[in-house]
């Protein structure tokens, strides 16, 4: 059948981009907590549209603001950048 070329046996190590990782974790964790973007933004002390931009990978967020999001979601900072 051969559906498509698979990433064969040993190729784990191409990590998605940092923005991608952050975006996915943000969306996932926010959903788990049943927060709207607005609620998360409020908890983090950020603007709603800024969070939306980050979740869409349109913005290059800084470390201080990543930290605010981690605190708002009550997770370690590093976990926001781990592959899910």
Partner DNA sequence: TTGTGACTTCTAGTCCGTT
Partner DNA sequence: AAACGGACTAGAAGTCACA
Return residues touching DNA (CB under 7 A): 36-38, 45-50, 52-53, 55-56, 58-62, 64-65
Q: C-alpha distances in angstroms, 47 versus 6, 25, 78?
A: 41, 19, 22
**3-state SS assignment for residue 25:** helix
d(CA 42, CA 83) in angstroms, rounded, equals 26
User: In terms of CB distance, is 38 or 67 closer to its own copies?
Assistant: 67
User: In terms of CB distance, is 6 or 60 closer to DNA?
Assistant: 60
Residues that bind its own copies (CB under 8 A): 15, 17-19, 21-22, 60-64, 66-67, 70, 76-83
């Amino acid at each position: 059948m051969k559906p498509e070329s698979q990433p064969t046996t040993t190729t784990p190590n191409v990590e998605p981009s940092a923005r991608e990782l952050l975006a996915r974790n943000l969306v996932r964790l926010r959903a788990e907590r049943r927060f709207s973007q607005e609620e998360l933004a409020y908890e983090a002390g950020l603007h709603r549209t800024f969070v939306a931009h980050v979740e869409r990978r349109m913005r290059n967020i800084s470390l201080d603001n990543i930290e605010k999001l981690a605190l708002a979601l009550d997770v370690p900072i590093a976990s926001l950048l781990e592959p899910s």
